[in-house]
């Protein structure tokens, strides 16, 4: 949980430098080609592609690589081609089509990462950040998983912030108050560590435990995708080139479609009381989120509207100025909130990069690189 402190301090010290440079880290290559690449582009729709545009694309490409890594793990164990298991059955309690949806989400993230990488390479002569050196984490050893694969992300010791659930059902917009708090849909997931995939086949021996692991995955799906849902419109406001803007405005809505799908499915989690995880030494409780139907519509009533399971479309909130009438929007999208850095910090707080092996460094080093890429993206400004 503390692994990002050094990265955050570095981000603060380097911020002014990063405004004029894409040299975010030694792990990234091809940055020196940017000026030559831009000069050779010729006419580009909407004007030249700026260093800020490139920084935004490079950060988003890195984020999509991370999402590809975690979704591939989910696909191996819960996708269409995954072997029948208690985990796959648990996911299908959320929706019978979950294996198809998991495959589709994985394919989408792969396509995003590949497209952004190709665009950077062929259009700008700039390479995406090379994250391959950070594939050090051990994945699941359960049947269906590629047991020898080294991962960028750890899905077995997560601390999941489920406040996205009430944020989209509340009239409060965090754009106005970044410190605003929103109640957790599943408070126990935001405390301790939880696994969202079976670690070994031993996890399938207890029906309650494997169901809890599957339901945890359902909420983690939504947590991951809500980040992209806000990130793309936030960064789009900083883009100068119209073609780059088109890219963000075209990929971003697909992330929102993912988020809406997953929060709908997560709401179908069945009640489970105090299920104990003997490995992480944590417990989780799922309640019936349909129970609030027909009760108070007061957005502060946690037994009413803000927990209502079928409110999968954003409830109206204040936007731009509270004097305007509330409107249904993606939130937050304020450029003042440093959305890219916040997205990386959200992944860190989620323990997505936590190395469970006590014999090695807990931080693989990826956080420093991601924070630098994020700072460069946040420092971008629309130039003309």
pLDDT of amino acid 165 = 94
- Asked if the structure places residue 384 within a domain, the reply is no
pLDDT of amino acid 68 = 98
Which of 120, 161, 143, 238 lies closest to 199, judged by CA? 143
- Asked if the structure places residue 226 within a domain, the reply is yes
| Distance from C-alpha of 303 to C-alpha of 296, rounded to nearest angstrom | 8
Other residues' Cβ atoms within 10 Å of the Cβ of residue 343: 24
> Is pLDDT at 37 greater than 70 in this prediction?
no
Whole-number CA gyration radius for the chain: 21
In tens, the pLDDT along 16-28 reads: 333 333 333 333 3
Output the CA torsion sign for 340, 36, 20, 8: positive
**Domain extent for 176:** 5-378
In tens, the pLDDT along 65-116 reads: 999 999 999 999 999 999 999 999 999 999 999 999 999 999 999 999 999 9
pLDDT of amino acid 29 = 32
- Asked if the structure places residue 359 within a domain, the reply is yes
Instruction: Give residue 344's pLDDT band: very low, low, confident or very high (50, 70, 90).
Output: very high
As beta bridge partners, residue 158 has: 194
> Is pLDDT at 374 greater than 70 in this prediction?
yes
- Asked if the structure places residue 330 within a domain, the reply is yes
Which of 222, 205, 175 lies closest to 319, judged by CA? 175
- Asked if the structure places residue 269 within a domain, the reply is yes
C-beta separation of 241 from 47 below 8 A: yes
- Asked if the structure places residue 308 within a domain, the reply is yes
| Distance from C-alpha of 78 to C-alpha of 91, rounded to nearest angstrom | 7
Give me the residue label for tokens 């944590």.
282
- Count Cα neighbours of 252 within 13 Å in the Cβ-side half-sphere: 19
| Distance from C-alpha of 257 to C-alpha of 229, rounded to nearest angstrom | 8
C-beta separation of 291 from 268 below 8 A: no
The backbone torsions φ and ψ at residue 190, rounded to the nearest 5 degrees and listed phi first, read -95, 15
pLDDT of amino acid 308 = 84
Instruction: Give residue 360's pLDDT band: very low, low, confident or very high (50, 70, 90).
Output: low
Identify the weakest region by mean pLDDT among 36-45, 64-73, 112-121.
36-45
- Distance linking the first and last C-alpha atoms of the chain: 40
What does the block give as tokens for 292?
């609030």
pLDDT of amino acid 19 = 37
Instruction: Give residue 301's pLDDT band: very low, low, confident or very high (50, 70, 90).
Output: very low
pTM above 0.85, yes or no: yes
In tens, the pLDDT along 123-150 reads: 999 999 999 999 999 999 999 999 999 9
| Distance from C-alpha of 365 to C-alpha of 135, rounded to nearest angstrom | 10
Range picked from 42-46, 48-52, 284-288 for highest mean pLDDT: 284-288
Residues in the chain: 384
Instruction: Give residue 8's pLDDT band: very low, low, confident or very high (50, 70, 90).
Output: very low
Give mean pLDDT, residues 16-42: 36
**Furthest CA-CA distance within the chain:** 62
- Asked if the structure places residue 351 within a domain, the reply is yes
| Distance from C-alpha of 27 to C-alpha of 129, rounded to nearest angstrom | 7
> Is pLDDT at 41 greater than 80 in this prediction?
no
Q: How many domains does the chain have?
A: 1
Which has more pLDDT, 157 or 7?
A: 157
- Asked if the structure places residue 383 within a domain, the reply is no
């Amino acid at each position: 949980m503390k692994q990002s402190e050094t990265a955050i301090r570095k981000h603060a010290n380097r911020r002014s430098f990063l405004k004029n440079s894409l040299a975010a880290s030694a792990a990234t290559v091809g940055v020196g080609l940017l000026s030559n690449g831009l000069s050779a582009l010729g006419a580009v729709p909407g004007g030249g592609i700026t260093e800020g545009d490139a920084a935004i694309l490079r950060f988003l490409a890195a984020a999509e690589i991370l999402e590809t890594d975690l979704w591939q793990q989910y696909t191996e164990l819960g996708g269409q081609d995954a072997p029948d298991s208690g985990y796959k059955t648990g996911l299908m309690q959320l929706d019978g089509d979950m294996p198809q949806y998991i495959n589709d989400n994985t394919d989408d993230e792969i396509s995003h990462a590949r497209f952004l990488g190709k665009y950077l390479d062929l259009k700008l002569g700039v390479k995406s950040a090379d994250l391959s050196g950070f594939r050090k984490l051990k994945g699941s050893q359960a049947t269906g998983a590629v047991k020898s694969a080294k991962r960028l992300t750890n899905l077995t010791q997560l601390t999941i912030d489920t406040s996205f659930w009430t944020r989209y059902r509340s009239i409060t917009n965090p754009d106005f108050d970044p410190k605003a708090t929103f109640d957790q849909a599943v408070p126990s997931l935001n405390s301790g560590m939880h696994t969202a995939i079976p670690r070994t086949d031993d996890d399938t021996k207890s029906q309650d435990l494997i169901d809890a692991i599957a339901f945890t995955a359902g909420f983690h799906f939504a947590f991951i995708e809500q980040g992209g849902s806000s990130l793309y419109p936030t960064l789009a406001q900083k883009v100068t080139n119209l073609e780059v803007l088109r890219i963000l405005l075209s990929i971003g809505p697909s992330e929102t479609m993912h988020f809406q799908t997953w929060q709908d499915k997560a709401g179908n989690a069945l009640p489970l009381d105090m299920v104990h995880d003997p490995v992480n030494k944590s417990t989780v409780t799922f309640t019936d989120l349909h129970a609030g139907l027909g009760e108070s519509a007061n957005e502060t009533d946690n037994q009413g509207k803000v927990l209502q399971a079928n409110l999968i479309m954003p409830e109206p909130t204040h936007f731009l100025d509270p004097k305007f009438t509330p409107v249904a929007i993606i939130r937050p999208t304020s450029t003042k909130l440093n959305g890219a850095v916040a997205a990386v910090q959200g992944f860190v707080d989620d323990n997505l990069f936590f190395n469970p092996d006590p014999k090695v460094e807990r931080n693989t080093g990826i956080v420093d690189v991601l924070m630098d890429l994020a700072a460069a993206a946040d420092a971008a400004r629309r130039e003309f």
